Amino acid sequence: MTISVVILAAGEGKRMRSRLPKVLHDIGGQPLLAHAIATARQLSDARIHVVYGHGGDQVIARLNGLLPPDTARWVKQEQQHGTGHAVAQALPGIDESSTVLVLYGDAPLISAETLRRLVAASADGALALMTVELDNPAGYGRIVRDKAHAVTRIVEEKDANDSQRAIREINTGFLAVRAGQLRQWVERLDNSNAQREFYLTDVIAMAVRDGVTIRTVSPASPFEVLGVNDKAQLALLERYYQKMRAEDLLKNGVTLRDPARFDLRGELTHGTDVTIDVNVIIEGTARLGSRVTIGPNVLLINVEIGDDVEILANCVIEDAVIGAGCRIGPFARVRPQTRLADNVHVGNFVEIKKSTVAAGSKINHLSYIGDSTVGARVNIGAGTITCNYDGANKYETIIGDDVFVGSDSQLVAPVRIGDGATIGAGSTITRDAPAGELTLSRAPQQTHPGWKKPVKKRRVEE
């Protein structure tokens, strides 16, 4: 059976109070619409039709790469006249025998398993409708059933009477039905309602009149079908999404010191005995080895971290590879294109950018290392910086194995420090330093006997 997934993503989202199209607001570091597309792609034999409208250029620019051109297409809804009108824009590109599955670009948490159950319920020509009971159903269309508990129609809240508003079972908008049937009903829709829109929900009453079986399916959690209409709802779904991600990690053996204070905004793979403290944020793709410990208030973006690594509090590591046994922080920043080999120590208030550091080296305090190649077993003293930028171009610093760089030194690139060299504290090195030798640059130390400290003059009282 071929499934044609129609994702409705054309709405403006005025209540978001943002210039950004609603479906481009993020949940877990990805746009709302990206979540819906990713779930749709988990369904076998599915073709995806995304109906877009408001902010269309932005939407396509951000998400076009997620749609395989051989199994997906963008469908433009020039003017937004309701959900029925939106589905009508997609139907001309859908085969009559296909099962149409309607999703929403602002409902990011629907699961593939729930959608499979919905599609299965549409077998034998039935219309499958996803419903859920809410304690507070305000704002949603109500499911109206007859005395035999069969669905007869859906009433939108603005068109409902008092008894209908008391119904707690609501329409989620998700449905599955044969394309040929849906086409006939959509062509008969009218907009004689309070909103003057073409409601997709009106096809339910048409299906009942045509003798079509209506089957209902409910999600595992109401959060699966909740949509985002304002920033409060966005925040609510973000927290639920993070709760689910945290629970998955806990089930897989990760220790989270406080699951409520952890955000995963990407994908995380990990080994055993990983411990993550509070207020850690992980973005992009992260791979953690075994026995990794991450301290509080750490930001990791696109990182690969080896076994037995300790990252102390308040560190930022981005687009970097960290070898086994490293110790980083606290308050360290490891910037893109940095590779640390095994057992490297990077201490407090150290920044490393676009550099490789070989095994066993230490950069422990208040230093900047940029555009550099650092050898093995190097010790770089506090306050050392590589001066890699002349205001127009960047140059490389090469430090050999077993080098000792004294505190408060400046290495002015391009420069090479030979194996086993020692750089005296307080030096400014502008030329290559030979291997195995002490190199320093200092002004002669002077003492001035009898020198007196300045004394602040007293103010004369008037």
- Positions annotated as catalytic residues are 365
CA angle 270, 275, 279 (to 5 degrees): 105
SS (H, E, C) the chain: CCEEEEEEECCCCHHHCCCCCHHHCEECCEEHHHHHHHHHCCCCCEEEEEEECCCHHHHHHHHHHHCCCCCEEEEECCCCCCHHHHHHHHHHHCCCCCEEEEEECCCCCCCHHHHHHHHHHCHHHCEEEEEEECCCCCCCCEEEECCCCCEEEEECHHHCCHHHHCCCEEEEEEEEEEHHHHHHHHHCCCCCCCCCCCCHHHHHHHHHHCCCCEEEECCCCHHHCCCCCCHHHHHHHHHHHHHHHHHHHHHCCCEECCHHHEEEEEEEEECCCCEECCCEEEEEEEEECCCCEECCCCEEEEEEECCCCEECCCCEEEEEEECCCCEECCCCEECCCEEECCCCEEEECCEEECCEECCCCEEEECCEEECEEECCCCEECCCCEEECECCCCECCEEECCCCEECCCCEEECCEEECCCCEECCCCEECCCECCCCEECCCCCCCCCCCCCCCCCCCCCCC
**And the tokens for 421?**
């060299």
